[in-house]
Structure 1
């Protein structure tokens, strides 16, 4: 990470964008895209490089803002947000010139080769990105980077629940990026509603399912494509074959970073009955190792974002019928909830049925791996993440039978920590993906282009009236395919099959095959002279 210029780290007070300005901001974004300037790859690279230096210069200010919003330790601000964005930018800056090239390595019938089929990569247009509060910087700017790389203009709406970070993002974007192409709109429901009333080429939303349904419904009115990055009641599996101490340590880390406000972290852990007691002992050992004087007095433990979310999580603890086996302390005045584990005996317990999105989770005992798989699929058939600790065969079985947006074996949600790999949900946990090239692809239209030379007209005679049965038959011979399987669906093998497939000599149409190849060479011969005629 490069050393940046000094920036005043005073955090400005939160200020909503005037509602009357939003329509003009959207119109300017559309007009800027229509000017064609964003299609210039060098222009995009310059903007991305400026964002790199903006992040560099504003690192300390973002650390201060994240501390103010979430009590996020400066170490975590770098690890989970800022460094992730630098990795994403680094890959994009290195690879963008390759990503934007026409894709010519594509499959198509050989008869179309002269048309030079290719796929152009074109930006979608002016797009809207709506961020979330839990990782407010990364979850806002990572898709924003993809929009910039693709050549879109973009309006960013950060979460109002992380107001300090939202204001610093607005300040940085306005200072470093093109003012007619990239914007930050701050505010709450009225401002979000005004933005959704505008016409966008795409909407990218990160958040909860309830708001996602509102976004998707509004987008459907104008047939606007959406990417939805949501959450889920994520399962983790721990079998008796696992390294219990390692599993406990890693899962505790995954649920304590950012005070568990990570959409990928486990909602519940399915633990084989024989090792439940040992697993709980290892959890408590790691707990005291991480926080010798307790999490509340530790500088390394964040806080819940606001009182509404605190009350929601606290209600789960108040209504559970399970037994607290680790933690359990809360302090509303400090928005503090300690890392808490509850041992439950039913998947109908609130600790399982509700998405915690905080530092609390449950342990659900199971008998066999098949039982654990059945339980997980009953709780949530499409979680965002899955984590499994067991033998190689157990892990493979779980991956095969439990669907999730992503998965990590032998750790907590590390699949989402790699900034250059596609990240996204499935079903209720989201649609679409981003990070790295996936972000570029998410804001890019793949436009098929063919270029038909004049000399091909003789070969295209079949499509012109008056229609000729002879030309049509020849066309079918030239373009037809032979299946590599029989009527029972069995794949054909052996030399006879290859003769039959390539030449038609291994089957009943041998006589027709000779005519087919004669016509093929005759057509190529005629096309060559037609080509020479046009060239001359």
Structure 2
């Protein structure tokens, strides 16, 4: 550890929480956060506060998770700062009223538009594994959208949480944005308050508690959860690329990543080659061993260590690579476990490891791999498909997931401006980039009816019986179907002549000749031009 002094982690008094929320609600009602200039200035100040406390963040993440400098900057600090820059550069455009598309002509007379209104007072509950990114990221979107925000960082990364509180208090308006510290009592008290939206990142088990609390007040929630994410590897995949890319995704943050693969479903004919390539890649990534590397993180705490160890102790599989552990140092080596085709109920498959465990389950073919993937988790956060284009297309068509990466491990989850989120029990709602702004924005439909339209609107007023008002009303807005009773699309005579209702070669030739003739006629009509 360095000599950088970090602030202490102090629990917020539960008695203070209701007054904090009340203060932020009064601020929101005052419309202080409405002007986009105010939001942009707050985000810019947050950017520079992060820069000013960079060394403290590096130290905090090293203490909490043993994160190396490269990962700390790329996945935490720089990521967050880039998000701020992107939001501030685009916020004015996003916040403008939007003209809806495909509005009937008669309805355009009332100037329909979509206004971007902030939701209100937002609660953001962060996660321990990427404490800066997964706490500040949603908060940045909520600020950009014009809300007031309470941030509750994870107490499992206490040093990072304390530095984030210091950053917020040094940069942001305290009547608009507050950091609340604590564990279960403080979180429970927060959930008892009335919110306009709750954004939670964490486990499925805790998400159910959050959702139940939110339901009492009909509070909308965005839930960013995990998942037993499958990687599917076919015979046509490049095993060296498979090994390097999946090992990268499973060793980042010691596997404490919600979108890393939980298992590899590999064609049985390539399993031995895959294991050899994983061994080669592991030596390339950590020449002196993962335990001696400054680039390999530790498990967050003893409870998580014991949980992962229990999963490994309970497996029916055979450890073919790695397996060493040190509880005192919270170290678990990247560990490859080879399962048999009958081990679909193994502890490493039915639970999310959230650690550096890499189980491989051999399968007979791609169809079996897809079936097993759907059986293990119907709606994972990610699916990772390795093979030919036809094979990966088949995997995408045959599975569901929050996102997917083809021939890579969770690349879709590290593109900052690509909407990110789960589906089913891997989460609900998306954020990142513009999606972060939209996540905390109410798209409010507005019309403005001028007085001169009253004669046109007379058709909507009673009396209706004995009049032709229904016919008049239908002429103004009733759409005619462009399909017949069999569900086939109707086409005009000109289109039918041009296509002759078929794509056969002979009729295609006739169609080409017909088009050429039309072209000649047009040239003659236009004077040869």
| In structure 2, distance between residues paired with 1:456 and 1:9 | 69
**Is 1:495 aligned to residue 529 of structure 2?**
no
Structure 2 length-normalised TM: 0.91
Match 1:456 to one of 439, 453, 461: 453
Match of 2:347 in 1: 350
Q: Bigger shift: 220-229 or 74-83?
A: 74-83
Secondary structure at the counterpart of residue 407 of structure 1: strand
| Cα-to-partner distance string for 1:4-62 (whole Å, 9 max, x where unaligned) | xxxx9411222101111111111111111111010100000000100111111111111
Secondary structure at the counterpart of residue 274 of structure 1: coil
| In structure 2, distance between residues paired with 1:239 and 1:166 | 43
Match of 1:439 in 2: 436
Match of 1:70 in 2: 65
Match of 2:79 in 1: 84
| Cα-to-partner distance string for 1:270-290 (whole Å, 9 max, x where unaligned) | 111111000000000111111
How far residue 297 of structure 1 moved from its aligned partner, in angstroms, is: 1.1
Match of 1:523 in 2: none
Structure 1 length-normalised TM: 0.90
How far residue 305 of structure 1 moved from its aligned partner, in angstroms, is: 0.2
1:243 to 1:314, Cα distance in 2 relative to 1, 3 A: same
How many residues are paired up?
491
Match 2:163 to one of 143, 164, 168: 168
1:305–1:335 CA contact under 8 A, matched in 2 = yes
Match of 2:469 in 1: 471
| In structure 1, distance between residues paired with 2:463 and 2:326 | 85
Match of 1:140 in 2: 135
List gaps (5 residues or longer) in structure 1.
1-7, 499-536
| In structure 1, distance between residues paired with 2:397 and 2:470 | 48
Match 2:277 to one of 265, 279, 282: 282
| In structure 2, distance between residues paired with 1:461 and 1:44 | 44
Secondary structure at the counterpart of residue 37 of structure 1: coil
Secondary structure at the counterpart of residue 154 of structure 2: coil
**Is 1:385 aligned to residue 378 of structure 2?**
no
Secondary structure at the counterpart of residue 115 of structure 2: strand
| In structure 2, distance between residues paired with 1:302 and 1:497 | 64
| Cα-to-partner distance string for 1:387-420 (whole Å, 9 max, x where unaligned) | 1110010011101111110111111101111111
Aligned pairs for 1:35-184 (under 5 A) are 35-184=30-179
List gaps (5 residues or longer) in structure 2.
497-529
How far residue 300 of structure 1 moved from its aligned partner, in angstroms, is: 1.0
**Is 1:213 aligned to residue 211 of structure 2?**
no
| In structure 1, distance between residues paired with 2:283 and 2:462 | 84
2:100–2:114 CA contact under 8 A, matched in 1 = no
| Cα-to-partner distance string for 1:298-320 (whole Å, 9 max, x where unaligned) | 11111000000000000011000
| In structure 1, distance between residues paired with 2:434 and 2:237 | 34
| In structure 2, distance between residues paired with 1:263 and 1:95 | 29
| In structure 1, distance between residues paired with 2:100 and 2:122 | 29
| Cα-to-partner distance string for 1:178-236 (whole Å, 9 max, x where unaligned) | 11100000000000011111111100000001110000000000000000000000000
| In structure 2, distance between residues paired with 1:396 and 1:494 | 36
How far residue 466 of structure 1 moved from its aligned partner, in angstroms, is: 2.4
| Cα-to-partner distance string for 1:80-122 (whole Å, 9 max, x where unaligned) | 1111112211211111000001110423222111001000000
1:85–1:419 CA contact under 8 A, matched in 2 = no
**Is 1:235 aligned to residue 230 of structure 2?**
yes
Match of 2:395 in 1: 398
| Cα-to-partner distance string for 1:346-395 (whole Å, 9 max, x where unaligned) | 22111111100010120011111111000000000000011111001001
Q: CA RMSD in A?
A: 1.2
2:100–2:112 CA contact under 8 A, matched in 1 = no
| In structure 2, distance between residues paired with 1:45 and 1:142 | 15
| In structure 2, distance between residues paired with 1:392 and 1:398 | 10
Secondary structure at the counterpart of residue 333 of structure 1: coil
Match of 2:8 in 1: 13
How far residue 496 of structure 1 moved from its aligned partner, in angstroms, is: 7.0
| In structure 1, distance between residues paired with 2:272 and 2:390 | 24
1:87–1:420 CA contact under 8 A, matched in 2 = no
2:386–2:408 CA contact under 8 A, matched in 1 = yes
Match 2:334 to one of 335, 339, 342: 339
**Is 1:263 aligned to residue 261 of structure 2?**
no
Match of 1:416 in 2: 413
Aligned pairs for 1:293-332 (under 5 A) are 293-332=288-327
Please identify runs of 4+ aligned residues in structure 1 that moved more than 4 A.
none
| In structure 1, distance between residues paired with 2:38 and 2:255 | 39
How far residue 476 of structure 1 moved from its aligned partner, in angstroms, is: 1.3
